[in-house]
Each structure stands twice: as structure tokens, then as C-alpha cells.
Amino acid sequence: MNLPVLLALVPVAMFAAVPNKTASVDNAVVVQPVANMYSRASTDADVVSQAIFSTNVAIVEQDGAWLKIRTPDAYTGWMQASATVRSKPYADSGHAVQVEALFANLYRETNITKHQPVITIPFESRLEVIGEPETSGRWFQVRLPDDRTAWVQAGDVTNSPTRDMSIAELIDWSKRFVGLPYLWGGTSTYGYDCSGFMQMLCRRRGFLLPRDAQPQAEWSGVQPVEKTELQPGDLLYFGSSPKHITHTGMYIGNGLFINATAHQHPMVQVDNLNEEHWTKLLVAARRIKQ
């Protein structure tokens, strides 16, 4: 798969933290295709999650060139301030579209050959529409979070992403992500980790799971399921014990499950639950309460 260059995952610059700390609650909008969230204000810290382009994040604290932010799923981490712009919430009112393709190129004009894309953004990014498609219906003009304007092809976006997929529809739809890279902390089509992938799939059923696998298994919105009673759509949790879960996937039937994994081939893939590697690690299964 010829994916876009992953430079968006590499911090643009490294800043030394300074002792000037301020506490506040403010809004910022992510302006990089994907921005890393770290456990502390340093690129040497571990990546705990990510936020994609156009995500509105709450600023909890500032430490020099770093922001401690909270994402819409209530996850917190440190992000380089250069990955955001401070502004009122973006694309939360008026006409907005969401990227439905795995990636969408934004252009400075309605021509894909005249100039390189202004930016390439991942699936689920939202955009404020300021110009409706022309007679051809091919293009939307959009305002970006930094107030620049750009054009996106209508075929890459949707006005109303499906939020109430049936389980059968979700399983069929989920296979479009097979082959995307596995990435620790990943929450986008540039790379998913296991819990980020499950969280994204469940959003399409209208449910917001916690960010990490252990809290997902302990979430009040799910109920335990015995392995002998698995049904397609059930969530699978793997680890050394039910209190030490390190991986998750979704059962799709016939002994198979889809997951983002670093095992053997680091990517989104379909695996066999009956393989020894997975059988010995399966410690819990959950079904979302309806």
C-alpha cells in the first residue's frame, strides 16, 4: 500500500520545557494531519495517544511550548503547541463534512495537477464548508482551522457519516482498513493501535468506548460473554489476566477476528482466534449493551 508520507507523525520541532507554567481551560484545534500526545512535555516521553486534524481539544495546562490537552473522549496528554491553533471550536456548527476516504488531499484550487496538496488529512477529519459543490458536484470549498481556504473533492467526504451500522455492515466495512499500519498510540489511518482501532469501529455503531483496552473491558457499557457464546461484533481482550489486558480486537465470526496488531505483521489484519498465540492470551470477551 502506497501510503502518504508519515512526516505528520514526527514533531516539527523540539522545544525545551521552561518553568513558566499556567493553568487554564481553553480550546485549541489540531492543525497537523496527526499530532502525538505524550505522557509528559517531551518528545523523549512515551506516546499515549494522538489527535487528528481539526479535533477540538481542551487546554488544561501550558508549559512553555507544550500544552496539556484533553481530547473529546476525555483522554489527556501533552502536545506540542505548534500542532494546534487556539480558537473557538471548529466545525461544530453550520455546514461541516467529514473525511470518509482513508485519506483526503486538500488543494488550493479545483485542480489536482497544478499544485501539490496543501495538506493530506486522515479519515474522520472534519472540515467547515464555505462553498457548495459546483454544477459538476466534484468540489467543496472549506475553511481550515488556521483560516486558510482549500478545496476537497466531494468523493472524499460525507455530509452525514453513518453512526448506526448493523453489526454485519460494520464487519464488512471494517475490512477496508486491512493493511493499514499498526502504530503504538495510533488513532488514525496513518496508523492505529489495537484500542484506537476498536474505539473507531464502535463509533460507527454510535458508542464511545474508553481509549485504552483495559478500561474498555471494564466499561459499564459492555457485558461479559463466554468464549463459547461469542457472536460477531463482540469485543475480545487479551493479556496475562483480566486485570492485565494489553490487546483487543473484534470477533467477526467463524473463529476470526479483526485487529490492529504488532504480532508477526504490524498492521490491521484478520486473525484466527484458534491459533495458539491468541488462544492462550484471550482473557475476556465483551458485548456492547443495547
- Confirm if 239 and 101 have CB atoms less than 8 A apart: no
pTM of the predicted protein model = 0.89
CATH 3.90.1720.10 positions along the chain are 167-288
Q: Which residues of 244-258 are buried (b: 16+ CB within 10 A; e: fewer)?
A: ebebbbbbbeeebbb
Edge-to-edge strands of the sheet including 66-70? 47-52, 34-38, 76-80, 66-70, 56-63, 21-30, 84-86
Q: Which amino acid is at 176?
A: R
Contact 100, 123 (CB under 8 A): yes
Residues 76-115: pLDDT tens digits? 999 999 999 999 999 998 899 999 999 999 999 999 999 9
Per residue in 171-197, pLDDT tens?
999 999 999 999 999 999 999 999 999
Is 62 within 8 Å of 15 (Cβ atoms)? Answer: no
- Give the number of other Cβ atoms within 10 Å of residue 47's Cβ: 17
**Whole-number Å distance between alpha carbons of 290 and 106:** 38
Q: What is the pLDDT of residues 238-267, one digit of tens each?
A: 999 999 999 999 999 999 999 999 999 999
String of b and e for 111-126 (b: at least 16 CB within 10 Å)? eeeeeebbbbbbbbbb
pLDDT level of residue 132 (50, 70, 90 thresholds): confident
Q: What residue ranges of the chain are covered by domains with CATH 2.30.30.40? A: 6-86, 96-158
Q: What pLDDT, on a 0 to 100 scale, did the predictor assign at position 131?
A: 85
Confidence category of residue 164, pLDDT binned at 50, 70, 90 = confident
Question: Is domain 167-288 in CATH 3.90.1720.10, yes or no?
Answer: yes
Contact 232, 222 (CB under 8 A): no
What pLDDT score was predicted for residue 22? 45
Q: Per the CATH hierarchy, to which homologous superfamily does domain 6-86 belong?
A: SH3 Domains (2.30.30.40)
Query: Could you tell me the pLDDT band of residue 290, with boundaries at 50, 70 and 90?
Result: confident
Cell 507554567, residue located? 21
Q: Flag the least confident range among 82-86, 135-139, 199-203.
A: 135-139
Residue 4 confidence class, pLDDT cut points 50, 70, 90: very low
Q: Which residue has the higher pLDDT, 152 or 13?
A: 152
From CA 218, how far away is CA 243, in angstroms rounded?
Answer: 9
Q: What is the rounded CA–CA span in Å between residue 120 and residue 21?
A: 33
Q: How far apart are CA 85 and CA 56, in angstroms?
A: 10
Is pLDDT at 11 greater than 70 in this prediction? no
Instruction: Check residues 63 and 21 and name the one with the higher pLDDT.
Output: 63
CA separation for the pair 217, 210 (Å, rounded): 9
How far the first Cα of the chain sits from its last, in Å, is 37
pLDDT tens, 30-45?
A: 999 999 999 999 999 9
Calculate what percentage of the chain has a pLDDT beyond 70.
Answer: 90
In the predicted model, what is the mean pLDDT of residues 20-24? 45
- Class of the 96-158 domain? mainly beta
Q: In which order are the strands placed within the sheet that holds 267-272?
A: 222-224, 282-288, 235-241, 244-253, 256-261, 267-272
Q: What integer is the mean pLDDT of 199-210?
A: 95
